Homo-oligomer: A and B are copies of this chain.
Amino acid sequence: MLLKVLFCPTPLSLNMTLNGTCLALRQVGRAASRLPCRASPQLLGLVRRCSITTSASNNKGNPRQKERVVILGSGWAGYAFANTLDPAKYERIVVSPRSHFVFTPLLASTAVGTLEFRSVLEPVRRLSGVNFYQGWADDIDFVRKTVRAEANTADDLASKTIVLPAGGGNYPKQPGIKGEVFDVSYDKVVIACGSFSQTFGVDGVREHAHFLRDIGDSRRIRLRVLSLFEQCAHQRTDHNASAAQDTESRRAGHLTNEDRRSLLHFAVVGGGPTGIEFAAELHDLIYEDLARIYPDLIQFVRITVYDIAPKVLPMFDKALSKYATDHFARQGINVRTKTSLSRIRLAPNDLGREHGGLTLTLADSDSTEIPAGLVVWSTGLMANPLISRLASKSFPLSTPSSEPPSSEPPSPESSLALDPKTHLLLTDSHLRARVNHPSDPHATLDDVFVIGDCAVMESQPHLPKTAQVASQQAVYLAKQLSARAVGKKTFKFRNWGTLTYLGGWKAIHQSSADELKGWVAWVIWRGAYLTKSMSLRNKIMVPFYWITSWLFGRDISRF
């Protein structure tokens, strides 16, 4: 049965020669690599998907025969939605500044070289039958049912975290980059454009800190860490230099041991899962791999996690959080809670000019200054500026139509409803966008849906802003739309628990049902991620890289 289905897309005669078998194997691989990953139901859907692709491309320019759903974003929410929505019933168009989905739980592993970058990416163009426009959604006209976007095919920009400048101006464009503006009309629109990184207005974060939300960030961090070691190794002749020798080195323009201590200080700001996992993975890289290659430098290495809160990993209970802190203490990773930064700048000496060394200023009474070679910033999220722009628009309350408003008496004006606390878009329990209505407190826009980080459900306002919530909302909504059953079943979040890797092959896991730590958690952690949201290709690649990194060490080449 499986074979039969897999052979349908192209008329291959099922000959059993070696050649035939090879070709068949390849057919299966290539087809499956374009499929969503949850095995059999999707495999069986292959024939349908492929035929849709063809008919969709034939239909271009012709009147549309299927309802068009425009999806803004290609993160956990947008990608999972596009992947799940029935292509037989809807035309799917994804508009996103980045051309891929990033499997974020493994991003920290790519930043230290345990995994190769590509193994955590799923290109949107691999989703068979999905149309893709690479661009930033700038605005939505709810009356004409049109999304206005600015093209963005500058991939370097697209794959790194964009941070708003103080004051919020100049978004989303970068200086000198202006893409073509284009409109995409929709029958239904799904707003899944996520959130921005929060810098709390700390001076210098945007310019000097690294983020860890996209693959370009990860690549830059990997290069920087390895390059810092190379720079510190250069001309290293005596690892027990006296102060007098250090002065001599400095006079000769060489790095002193004090300089090495500054550059090999790795600062992580934010004690949530991203910050903690990065610190843990970095520790593994340094002590498992770099210690063999640069043994003399290990004495200078320090890793510090800064958090403003009294404890890290606030989503874990006290015991697990303490387990994490104790484990870090044993590994020599410093955790400084109740500490925040007021400024990051280039060190005002040769270290800054020639080696990119940084100076962190703590927001304590003494404005303590701390040198560092790398700052990774993961303090939290802020609303995507598109949200406030959409919320500031008013539109007539009558059912939106594709015709411009006629000479009829104008309907009362309304606007999208915002959650007063988070300033995110409010939705009803079916994820439809809520509008402010003078008489109906439950009014919604029936063709506008909001999922993921930019949505707050009126019925469950306290859902965390996590990948789990985003992907569950996406799958729920896609299924409801596919079944043409929107408004029937309400969304229910099922908490699969939270996992955080702590380095040294250990992790902690907590859910409503149980809590785990140590080896067991690590096994669950490694296993669980493989089965979720990944293509068959990456399901093979990820374990392969785990094995090769374990056998041969992480790769240290820099380019």
Which A residues fall within an 8 A CB radius of B? Answer: 25-26, 29-30, 32-33, 57, 60-61, 99-100, 116-118, 121, 123, 125-126, 132-135, 151, 153, 155-156, 158-159, 180-182, 214-216, 219, 223, 226-227, 230-231, 233-235, 237-239, 253-254, 293, 295-296, 354, 536-537, 540-541, 544, 548, 550-553, 555-559
Q: Which chain B residues lie closer than 8 Å to A125 at the CB level?
A: 293, 556
Mind listing 10 A-B residue pairs with CB under 8 Å?
A57-B296, A99-B230, A116-B118, A118-B555, A121-B557, A125-B556, A153-B230, A153-B234, A216-B559, A219-B559
Q: Which chain B residues lie closer than 8 Å to A293 at the CB level?
A: 125-126
Say how far A262's CB is from chain B's closest CB, in angstroms: 16
> Given A227-B153, A293-B125, does the pair A29, B551 have CB atoms closer than 8 Å?
yes
Q: Are B558 and A235 in contact (CB under 8 A)?
A: no
Q: Are B26 and A550 in contact (CB under 8 A)?
A: yes
Q: Are B559 and A215 in contact (CB under 8 A)?
A: yes
Q: Which chain B residues lie closer than 8 Å to A153 at the CB level?
A: 227, 230-231, 234
New A-B pairs, 16, CB < 8 Å, besides A99-B558, A181-B253, A537-B548: A26-B550, A32-B552, A60-B237, A100-B557, A118-B557, A121-B555, A125-B293, A151-B234, A151-B235, A156-B559, A159-B558, A182-B234, A215-B557, A537-B552, A540-B548, A541-B548
Say how far A91's CB is from chain B's closest CB, in angstroms: 13
- Tell me the nearest residue of chain B to A101, going by C-beta: B557
- Tell me the nearest residue of chain B to A255, going by C-beta: B180
User: Please, how many angstroms separate the alpha-carbon atoms of A220 and B559 in the complex?
Assistant: 11
Say how far A287's CB is from chain B's closest CB, in angstroms: 14
User: Please, how many angstroms separate the alpha-carbon atoms of A135 and B25 in the complex?
Assistant: 48
Q: Which chain B residues lie closer than 8 Å to A155 at the CB level?
A: 223, 226-227, 230, 558-559
- Tell me the nearest residue of chain B to A550, going by C-beta: B26
Q: Which chain B residues lie closer than 8 Å to A159 at the CB level?
A: 558-559
- Tell me the nearest residue of chain B to A536, going by C-beta: B552
